A = this chain, B = another copy of it.
C-alpha cells in the first residue's frame, strides 16, 4: 500500500511484462484483467466472489453511472467503492465510448459531446472537464481522458481528425484532473484508427504529456485480430516502458495472450460476464457451449481440477438444465466460472513471465484450447 500511484516492472520475457501498480486502495498485479462492473455491479456475481477469483481491480462505466444513479448521488452516498462494496481499486472509462455506441442524437464539437440518454432521452453533456469531474465524484482510482473513438474500418482523414481532437482533449483532461486528490491516476488514450503513422503520432504526443499510464483505445471495435495486434506492435515502442499500458475493451482469452506477448499490462472486457450469461464457458479445454444438448447427461464438471466451485462442483448436465430452463443460477455459475478462468489465465501469464517461460505457457495454453474438450465418458 502507498499514498501515491506508481508502477513497478518486475520482469520482462520478450515483450511480455509483469509488474505491480500501487494505489492507496491496494495493488494491481499485471498483466491484469479487470472485470466490468458497468452499472456498479459485475453482473450476476457478488463482489466478494469477484475478489475471490483473483481480481485486483474492477472497471466502472462512466456513461452508465452518470445516467443511473448519477455521479453526484454516488458521491453523496460515499463514492462508488462504498456504494458497490468493492474497496479495492476501480478504473473508470470516460464515458465517450458508450456515448458513441449507445446514446441517440449525439452532437460532437470541439468542446465535447451532447447526447440523449438511451434510458429516458434526457439531454446530457460530456466535456473533457466534466468527464474527469464525474470520475472524481465516483472516486475512481484510475481515470480516463475523454476521447473520440471511431469505428473501424474508417477513412484515414476521419481517424486523423478524431485522434487530433482526442489529443486536445487529453490536454484539457489533464488540467482538469490536477484538482483531484493525490494517489489517483489519469491515463491518456492512444487513438488513430488502423493507421500506423497516426497511432505513432498519438502515442508520442501523449508520452510527451507524461501521463502515469497509457490506454490504447479504438481497437476491438470490429477489426480482425491481426489488425489489432499490428496496432499494438506499432504503438508499443513509443510508449514509456516505465508506465502501464492498458488495451481497452479486450478481449478473448487468445486476445489476452497475444496482447500480453506484445507488452500490454491491463485489460477489461465484458466477454467473460456476457458470455457467461449466454451459456458459453471459457475453460482450459477451450469454449464450451452449455446450450448444446450433448451436455444433457454429462455428469462431469467443467473442470474438475479447478479451485472454483462453479467450474469444479456442478455437472455439465446440471448447467445445461439450468440454461434450458432459464434459471438464474445458470448465468450466475457460468459468469463466476468465466471470471475465475480469466483470472487464472492472467495469474498463469504473470508466473510464466516472472520465470522466463512465457512462450512455453502461451504454446501450452493454446494447445489446451485446440485439443478441445476432455474426452466424453463411455
Contact = CB atoms under 8 A, between A and B. Distances in A.
Interface of A: 39-41, 43-46, 64, 68-69, 73, 76-78, 83-85, 296-297, 299, 313-315, 317-318, 321-322, 324-325, 327-329, 331-332
A331 B330 CA distance: 14
Contact of A324 (B68, B322, B328): B68
A114 to B, nearest CB: 23
A297 B70 CA distance: 11
B297 A76 contact: yes
B76 A315 contact: no
A297 B44 contact: no
Contacts of A315: 77, 83
B46 A297 contact: no
A69 B327 CA distance: 13
Contacts of A313: 85
Given A69-B324, A77-B297, A85-B318, 12 more contacts: A39-B322, A39-B325, A39-B327, A40-B322, A41-B327, A46-B329, A64-B325, A69-B321, A83-B317, A83-B318, A83-B321, A332-B332
A229 to B, nearest CB: 34
What 10 pairs across the A-B complex have the smallest Cβ distances?
A41-B329, A44-B328, A39-B325, A69-B321, A41-B327, A77-B317, A43-B328, A83-B318, A68-B325, A77-B299
A342 to B, nearest CB: 19
A122 to B, nearest CB: 15
Contacts of A39: 321-322, 325, 327
A330 to B, nearest CB: 8
B296 A73 contact: yes
A318 B65 CA distance: 12
A327 B335 CA distance: 14
Contacts of A83: 315, 317-318, 321
Given A68-B324, A69-B296, A78-B299, A43 B317 contact: no
26 contacts: A39-B321, A39-B322, A39-B327, A41-B327, A41-B328, A41-B329, A43-B327, A45-B329, A46-B329, A46-B332, A64-B325, A68-B321, A68-B324, A68-B325, A69-B317, A69-B321, A69-B324, A73-B297, A73-B317, A76-B297, A77-B297, A83-B317, A84-B318, A85-B314, A85-B318, A332-B332
Contact of A322 (B41, B73, B296, B322): B41
A332 B78 CA distance: 23
A88 B253 CA distance: 38
A52 B288 CA distance: 31
A331 B328 contact: yes
A31 B329 CA distance: 28
B332 A328 contact: yes
A329 B321 CA distance: 22
Contacts of A84: 318
Contacts of A44: 328-329, 332
A325 B83 CA distance: 15
A73 B324 CA distance: 14
A339 to B, nearest CB: 14
A315 B322 CA distance: 30
A46 B317 CA distance: 17
Nearest to A84: B318
A127 B69 CA distance: 54
A278 to B, nearest CB: 13
